């Protein structure tokens, strides 16, 4: 069962994190400020109510008449105040109403055993002050959240840009541009973990390049050293008397010579020193003529003719390797289709192995035994390398998708060569377009 994956950028993750932290801090501070302000307001209201009651008490002791709304032995007096009055203490009490406006009670015991009390509500001015404070806290909290989002976008955007530059540089390195340095690509004055990642990628690239170069040199040296004895072996085989043993020796010696030449060609392609010698050709006519010479039984279809600027020798090498691979590992009929700058080679065999579709062609790996029980895996590797020299793209797929039921005559392997609109020059670069030179 495939898991649902939510893809988000670093910018938005950081902005959401900062906004969430800012919201939590703003809410916590707002609650603390609101509660502190409310407690202070109620304390002031209690003190004010008690001062009024004490003043009314002095007036009552003189005039025996309760003033300022005070009452003697008020039956609505809260139970807590009753208990404190029995203890002979003066006290205040706050009663929370359902509408949110608290009532303030104050009571003092009299010398004759009576209780003088005063009941009132919090002043409207205090309530309006609390409302204004709450509004200010809400506005401040919202401002903090949006400010945190903006700050997160700025910080995350800078980090995201550096990471994208690092990823783009690493992608160019993966395509074979070993001169690209990730550390130089990301730039910037501030040093952070991104620079550590860039240094690690650059170090890894240097190590891999050194290893690949060492392997290439060893391979090229071995192939070059084998070339002379193999040539001598072929010459000696020509001197053998006719017969079946002589044919077997010549065949194996020729196969060894072909292998040595292929290995040398792969080594040259790996060195990235190969350059295309460009000519303008009619692609459909060229492919039809070359394929007919290689195998007259192959079906050729030119859907749309196109003139291309490419290296005919390298293009012929690619076609030859693709057709040889189809003949060796596929099944007839083999079809070649030319449509504009695209050349397709299809057979009707078991298809490419999954490892090749997933990772691309690799030397000395022939894939599954049902398709590649013999060979050295160099044909498609050379074809892919020659395509890179031409600035083209060579892709591989099967006519029947993985897991689908293959019907008779509908299977097979398909290799597609996509020639570029602007081929690389003899120096390996691409020509300047007229509209870019203005």
For the stretch 376-390, pLDDT in tens is 567 788 888 888 888
Kindly state whether residues 283 and 387 are assigned to the same domain.
Answer: yes
6 or 253: which carries more pLDDT confidence?
253
Which of 226-240, 246-260, 323-337 has maximum average pLDDT?
Answer: 323-337
Both tokens assigned to 219: 């391979």
Q: What is the mean pLDDT of residues 128-144?
A: 82
Could you tell me the CATH number of the domain that includes residue 285? 3.30.565.10
- End-of-domain residue from the set 111, 129, 150: 150
What's residue 113's pLDDT?
Answer: 77
Q: What is the mean pLDDT of residues 50-63?
A: 81
What's residue 82's pLDDT?
Answer: 80
303 or 193: which carries more pLDDT confidence?
303
Kindly state whether residues 292 and 261 are assigned to the same domain.
Answer: no
Kindly state whether residues 213 and 341 are assigned to the same domain.
Answer: no
**How many angstroms separate the Cα of 15 from the Cα of each of 129, 151, 272?**
34, 7, 44
What's residue 376's pLDDT?
Answer: 53
Kindly state whether residues 196 and 336 are assigned to the same domain.
Answer: no
Q: Where is 93: in which H helix or E strand? A: strand 91-95
What's residue 252's pLDDT?
Answer: 78
93 or 5: which carries more pLDDT confidence?
93
**How many angstroms separate the Cα of 122 from the Cα of each of 77, 258, 377?**
17, 102, 91
Residue 20 in any domain: the answer is yes
Start-to-end C-alpha separation, the chain? 54
Q: Which residue has the tokens 């409310």?
A: 38
Kindly state whether residues 29 and 133 are assigned to the same domain.
Answer: yes
Burial label, 106 (beta-carbon count in 10 A; 0-12, 13-18, 19+): buried
Instruction: Give the DSSP letter of residue 131.
Output: H
Q: For residues 88 and 82, is the Cβ–Cβ distance under 8 A?
A: no
Residue 217: asked if its preceding bond is cis (omega within 30°), the reply is: no
- End-of-domain residue from the set 134, 150, 166: 150
Residue 173 in any domain: the answer is no
Residue pLDDT, tens place only, 278-301: 888 898 899 899 888 888 888 888
Kindly state whether residues 48 and 107 are assigned to the same domain.
Answer: yes
195 or 403: which carries more pLDDT confidence?
195
Residue 158 in any domain: the answer is no
Could you tell me the CATH number of the domain that includes residue 197? 1.10.287.130
212 or 291: which carries more pLDDT confidence?
291
What's residue 15's pLDDT?
Answer: 78
Both tokens assigned to 413: 């392997």
Q: For residues 160 and 11, is the Cβ–Cβ distance under 8 A?
A: yes
pTM of the predicted protein model: 0.51
Residue 87 in any domain: the answer is yes
Phi/psi of residue 205, nearest 5 degrees: -60, -45
Indicate if the pLDDT at residue 25 is higher than 60: yes
213 or 84: which carries more pLDDT confidence?
84
Both tokens assigned to 169: 């540089």
Q: Which residues make beta-bridge pairs with 393?
A: 418
Q: What angle do CA 78, 104, 86 make, to 5 degrees?
A: 35
Q: For residues 122 and 45, is the Cβ–Cβ distance under 8 A?
A: yes
Residue 164 in any domain: the answer is no
- End-of-domain residue from the set 150, 168, 190: 150
d(CA 326, CA 332): 8
- Into how many domains does the chain fold? 3
pLDDT-derived band at 429, boundaries 50, 70, 90? very low
Both tokens assigned to 212: 């690949």
Greatest Cα pair distance in the chain: 152
Domain residues for 257? 181-273
What's residue 427's pLDDT?
Answer: 42
pLDDT-derived band at 365, boundaries 50, 70, 90? low
Kindly state whether residues 77 and 120 are assigned to the same domain.
Answer: yes
Both tokens assigned to 271: 């060195």
d(CA 411, CA 402): 11
Kindly state whether residues 254 and 293 are assigned to the same domain.
Answer: no
Indicate if the pLDDT at residue 392 is higher than 70: yes
Kindly state whether residues 293 and 268 are assigned to the same domain.
Answer: no
In 3-state terms, the chain is what percent helix, strand and coil (to 5)? 55, 15, 30
Q: For residues 272 and 327, is the Cβ–Cβ distance under 8 A?
A: no
pLDDT-derived band at 99, boundaries 50, 70, 90? low
What's residue 370's pLDDT?
Answer: 43
Kindly state whether residues 108 and 26 are assigned to the same domain.
Answer: yes
Q: How much of the chain, in percent, has pLDDT values that exceed 90?
A: 3
Q: What angle do CA 69, 75, 77 make, to 5 degrees?
A: 70
What's residue 179's pLDDT?
Answer: 74
How many angstroms from the chain centroid is the CA of residue 415? 29
Both tokens assigned to 7: 């893809």
Residue pLDDT, tens place only, 310-328: 888 888 888 988 888 888 8
Kindly state whether residues 103 and 188 are assigned to the same domain.
Answer: no
pLDDT-derived band at 4, boundaries 50, 70, 90? low
Residue 206 in any domain: the answer is yes
Q: What is the mean pLDDT of the chain?
A: 77
d(CA 354, CA 351): 9
Instruction: Give the DSSP letter of residue 121.
Output: E
Q: What is the mean pLDDT of residues 419-432?
A: 55
pLDDT-derived band at 407, boundaries 50, 70, 90? low
Rg, C-alpha atoms of the chain: 44
Kindly state whether residues 263 and 283 are assigned to the same domain.
Answer: no
Residue 437 in any domain: the answer is no
Residue 323 in any domain: the answer is yes
pLDDT-derived band at 158, boundaries 50, 70, 90? confident
The per-type count for the chain, helices as H runs and strands as E runs, is 11, 11
């Amino acid at each position: 069962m495939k898991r649902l994956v939510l893809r988000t950028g670093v910018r938005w993750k950081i902005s959401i994190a900062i906004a969430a932290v800012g919201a939590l801090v703003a809410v916590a501070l707002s609650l603390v400020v609101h509660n502190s302000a409310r407690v202070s307001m109620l304390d002031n209201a209690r003190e004010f109510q008690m001062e009024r009651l004490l003043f009314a008490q002095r007036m009552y002791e003189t005039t025996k008449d309760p003033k300022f709304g005070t009452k003697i032995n008020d039956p609505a007096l809260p139970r807590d105040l009753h208990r404190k009055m029995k203890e002979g203490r003066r006290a205040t009490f706050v009663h929370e109403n359902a509408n949110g406006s608290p009532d303030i009670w104050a009571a003092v015991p009299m010398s004759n055993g009576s209780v003088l009390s005063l009941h009132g509500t919090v002043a409207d001015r205090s309530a309006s002050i609390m409302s204004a404070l709450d509004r200010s806290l809400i506005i401040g909290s919202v401002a903090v959240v949006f400010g945190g989002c903006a700050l997160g976008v700025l910080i995350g955007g800078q980090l995201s840009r550096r990471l994208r530059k690092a990823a783009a540089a690493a992608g160019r390195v993966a395509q074979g541009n070993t001169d690209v340095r990730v550390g130089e690509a990301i730039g910037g004055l501030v040093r952070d973990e991104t620079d550590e990642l860039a240094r690690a990628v650059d170090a890894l690239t240097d190590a891999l390049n050194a290893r690949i170069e060492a392997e290439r040199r060893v391979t090229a040296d071995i192939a070059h050293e084998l070339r002379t004895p193999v040539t001598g072996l072929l010459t000696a085989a020509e001197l053998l008397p006719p017969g079946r043993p002589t044919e077997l020796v010549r065949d194996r010696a020729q196969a060894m010579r072909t292998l040595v030449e292929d290995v040398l060609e792969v080594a040259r392609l790996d060195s990235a020193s190969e350059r295309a010698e460009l000519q303008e050709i009619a692609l459909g006519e060229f492919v039809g003529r070359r394929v007919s010479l290689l195998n007259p039984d192959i079906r050729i279809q030119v859907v749309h003719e196109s003139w291309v600027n490419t290296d005919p020798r390298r293009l012929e090498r690619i076609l030859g390797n693709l057709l040889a691979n189809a003949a060796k590992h596929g099944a007839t009929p083999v079809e070649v289709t030319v449509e504009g700058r695209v050349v397709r080679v299809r057979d009707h065999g078991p298809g490419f192995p999954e490892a090749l579709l997933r990772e691309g062609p690799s030397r000395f790996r022939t894939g599954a035994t049902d398709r590649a029980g013999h060979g050295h895996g160099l044909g498609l590797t050379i074809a892919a390398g020659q395509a890179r020299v031409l600035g083209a793209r060579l892709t591989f797929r099967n006519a029947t998708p993985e897991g689908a039921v293959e019907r008779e005559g509908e299977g097979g392997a398909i290799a597609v060569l996509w020639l570029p609109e602007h081929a690389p020059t003899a120096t390996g670069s691409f020509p300047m377009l007229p509209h870019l030179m203005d």
